Structure 1
Amino acid sequence: MSQGVRGVVFDLDGLLVESEEYWEQARREFVSRYGGTWGDDAQQAVMGANTRQWSRYIREAFDIPLTEEEIAAAVIARMQELYHDHLPLLPGAIPAVRALADRYPLAVASSSPPVLIRFVLAEMGVAECFQSVTSSDEVAHGKPAPDVYHLACERLGVAPEQAVAFEDSTAGIAAALAAGLRVIAVPNRSYPPDPDVLRRADLTLPSLEEFDPAVLEQW
């Protein structure tokens, strides 16, 4: 293991699986039941938010006559159905995880609830590659706040400056940078990150297929 990099933290949605479109579909379907229309502004408003934050947003923005817990449960259940029907793996995701698992302790730092994170990792066949799983639901503030990355590094037993994050979104890149990690950005094509935030990443790749683990050895 290199002296510089002691751990690696992966985002999930939009990085390992192309799930942002699933989240949008699940929320759009839910809101439409109550006469609402889920648009681009709503999708951007909840990017990076944890479950408490996005369920509160839905209840308040669309005047849903349910508790935040009931809203979250309905949307998460729909996500599990979508994942069960088809897991939208992104190119290079599994090889990148397996290559790095041979060299470093790995963690996940995701805005998804823990049940969905573990479900996806199991379906990918890489659950055993990760030392820890951290959800924004476990911290006070979701991305772009650094909370989830601080907790992920703590669980790995590494200082943030000794860790590298893989991220795809504006909120995710900003969160990892704010926590003090180096960042490898793999921009989401459907929901591209803000160019000013993307420029702050240490490395930008068009796809995980282009990732060479030797880069981290050089760091």
Structure 2
Amino acid sequence: MPSQQPLPSELTTTPAADLPAAVFWDMDGTLVDTEPYWINAEHAIVEEAGGVWNDEYAHQLVGNDLMVSAEFIRDNSPITLEPVEIVEDLLRRVIAQVTEHVPWRPGAIELLTALREAGVPNALVTMSWRSLADSVLAALPEGTFAAVITGDEVEHGKPHPEPYLAAARALGVEVTDCVAIEDSPTGVRSAVAAGVPTLAVPHVVPVPIIAGAVQAPSLRGLTPADLHRLFG
């Protein structure tokens, strides 16, 4: 786990002209390495129901709206629970793992810190529900994210553009002046569809080349100015 530096509790500056107006962060797989937690939870609930799960199925769910994932699980296993019950069971299991250990992605905390110090607001844009987002946010200083958009608070989940459009409205910024950071094809398509210049940092699954997005192998060493330069 990278060393966690303290983040200022208040923004004290405004972004310079060569910085993004805001940065929108995906959570699972981008900010925190929780995709293995989700995959473990999926294996557990399916196997407890007498079925067999596999990583091919699990990888198809990376970045998805949780209700979409729940319906896929029900369609491909003996589980007969309603989708919302499946989501709640998965969340309970993942939250238990996050409470024990928050697995930050390399470079994430350092970039968050630098953005805050530069006066760039951050928004969390995740398809996880509020209960899990709050568990992750509890490990960060209050005010780290100026806005939080979760999957249970939007009508349309990723890859629909709604989550990112909602984040821009919450911060009062133009999407084209911001940068989104994503790790999955679903998330990248959502941000690009919203018109947000997008940095893809593939992790559990590969991300194809998508117009409107650039790719980097890691967030490690990236600075706020780098985010602006990536998009010319």
TM-score normalized with structure 1 length: 0.89
Gaps of 5+ in 2: 1-14
Question: Secondary structure of 2:45's partner?
Answer: helix
Distance 2:59 2:202 in 1: 15
> Cα 1:61–1:140, aligned 2, differ >3 Å: closer, same or farther?
farther
Question: Secondary structure of 1:166's partner?
Answer: strand
How far did 1:41 drift? 3.3
Match in the other structure for 1:118? 134
Confirm whether residue 137 of structure 1 aligns to residue 152 of structure 2: yes
Length, aligned pairs only: 214
The percentage of aligned residue pairs carrying the same residue is 35
Q: Following TM superposition, where does structure 1 have runs of at least 4 consecutive aligned residues deviating by more than 6 angstroms?
A: none
Match in the other structure for 2:186? 171
Whichever residue aligns with residue 219 of structure 2, its letter is L
Confirm whether residue 51 of structure 1 aligns to residue 88 of structure 2: no
Say what the alpha-carbon RMSD is for the aligned residues.
1.9
Gaps of 5+ in 1: none
Whichever residue aligns with residue 78 of structure 1, its letter is R
How far did 1:85 drift? 2.3
- Is the CA contact 2:114–2:223 (under 8 Å) kept in the aligned structure 1? no
Identify, as 1 or 2, the structure richer in helix: 1
Question: Secondary structure of 1:208's partner?
Answer: coil
> Alpha-carbon deviations, 1:138-187, whole Å to 9, x = none?
22332222111111111111121121101111111111111100112222
Confirm whether residue 81 of structure 1 aligns to residue 92 of structure 2: no
Question: Secondary structure of 1:128's partner?
Answer: coil
How far did 1:72 drift? 1.5
- Is the CA contact 1:16–1:93 (under 8 Å) kept in the aligned structure 2? yes
Match in the other structure for 1:201? 213
Whichever residue aligns with residue 10 of structure 1, its letter is W
Larger mean Cα displacement after TM superposition, 71-80 or 55-64: 55-64
Match in the other structure for 1:155? 170
Question: Secondary structure of 2:136's partner?
Answer: helix
How far did 1:17 drift? 1.0
- Is the CA contact 1:97–1:126 (under 8 Å) kept in the aligned structure 2? no
> Cα 1:167–1:126, aligned 2, differ >3 Å: closer, same or farther?
farther
Larger mean Cα displacement after TM superposition, 40-49 or 104-113: 40-49
Confirm whether residue 38 of structure 1 aligns to residue 53 of structure 2: yes
How far did 1:42 drift? 1.8
Distance 2:181 2:85 in 1: 32
- Is the CA contact 2:23–2:122 (under 8 Å) kept in the aligned structure 1? yes
TM-score normalized with structure 2 length: 0.84
